[in-house]
A and B are shown apart, each in its own frame.
Chain A
Amino acid sequence: GAVVSQHPSRVICKSGTSVKIECRSLDFQATTMFWYRQFPKKSLMLMATSNEGSKATYEQGVEKDKFLINHASLTLSTLTVTSAHPEDSSFYICSASPRTGGVTDTQYFGPGTRLTVL
């Protein structure tokens, strides 16, 4: 159980285009999902918290107009990188927590999306 999927796994795009990444919780509902960014040989950096039915909460230094997040349902969150540039090339990972009304903090991660902007 607690499987999180991401699509696509890899994407290459031209500079100036927008790219959408989907994150799905396959066997549980997630009112909260998280989006991380990871550079090579580095740790995960939290970008934003995606809340179902409300606006995402962005971490300091993350541009909300550039990284658009939509939490459309209890099993789907999307991250759109708008007007992508080469410096946006990175490994983007989402996570979700199965929250059953109690305190369940374990986050399960998706397989990640490798974005390369040419």
Chain B
Amino acid sequence: GESVGLHLPTLSVQEGDNSIINCAYSNSASDYFIWYKQESGKGPQFIIDIRSNMDKRQGQRVTVLLNKTVKHLSLQIAATQPGDSAVYFCAENMKGSNYKLTFGKGTLLTVNP
């Protein structure tokens, strides 16, 4: 089965609120994690990544948190905008796997105006 999964398949928020999308992984050998955003009919778009030697990384309006103790990854989006509406996937890469990524099931984020 999949080693990466998501707690919530859908998330609906109001414009301007902060969004938190969660992801659980089971492979303790994974050392690199990426969040992707996919809009309908398009390819995944890189948002932010984090390596296993870090527990937090910030980008523009986004923050990724990694908790290796409980194998949990989260993506925080500040001041969510309608343009943030999309499916968000977490992906993990296991060291030595020749850069292969394993994707989670995805969370559909809907931003209400």
Co-complex (A, B): yes
Instruction: Tell me the A residues contacting B by CB distance below 8 Å.
Output: 2, 4, 6, 32, 34, 42-46, 49, 57, 93, 95, 97, 105-112, 114
Q: With the chains together, A45 CA to B91 CA distance in Å?
A: 11
Cβ of B104: which chain A residues have Cβ within 8 Å of it? 43
Residues of B within 8 A of A108 (CB): 46
Given A43-B105, A107-B101, 19 more A-B residue pairs with CB atoms under 8 Å apart are A6-B43, A32-B99, A34-B101, A42-B106, A43-B2, A43-B104, A44-B103, A46-B101, A49-B100, A95-B101, A97-B99, A107-B99, A108-B46, A109-B44, A110-B43, A111-B42, A112-B42, A112-B43, A114-B41
Interface residues of B (CB under 8 A from A): 2, 32, 34, 36, 41-46, 49, 89, 93, 98-106
Within the complex, the shortest CB–CB distance from A57 to chain B, in Å, comes to 8
Q: List 12 A-B contacts (CB under 8 A).
A: A32-B99, A44-B103, A45-B103, A46-B102, A49-B100, A106-B34, A107-B101, A109-B36, A109-B43, A109-B45, A111-B43, A114-B41
Contact A105 B32 (CB under 8 A): yes
* Contact between chains at B43 and A105 (CB < 8 Å): no
Given known contacts A34-B100, A43-B103, A44-B103, A93 and B89 CB-to-CB distance under 8 angstroms: no
Which partner residue on chain B sits nearest A59 by CB separation? B100
Which A residues are in CB contact (< 8 Å) with B42? 111-112
Give the distance to chain B from A71, nearest Cβ to Cβ, in Å. Answer: 14
User: B49 — nearest CB in chain A belongs to which residue?
Assistant: A106
Given contacts A106-B34, A106-B49, contact A43 B89 (CB under 8 A): yes
Residues of B within 8 A of A32 (CB): 98-99
Q: Is the CB of A105 within 8 A of B103?
A: no
Q: How far is the CA of A45 from the CA of B99 in the complex (A)?
A: 15
Q: Which residues of B contact A111 (CB under 8 A)?
A: 42-43
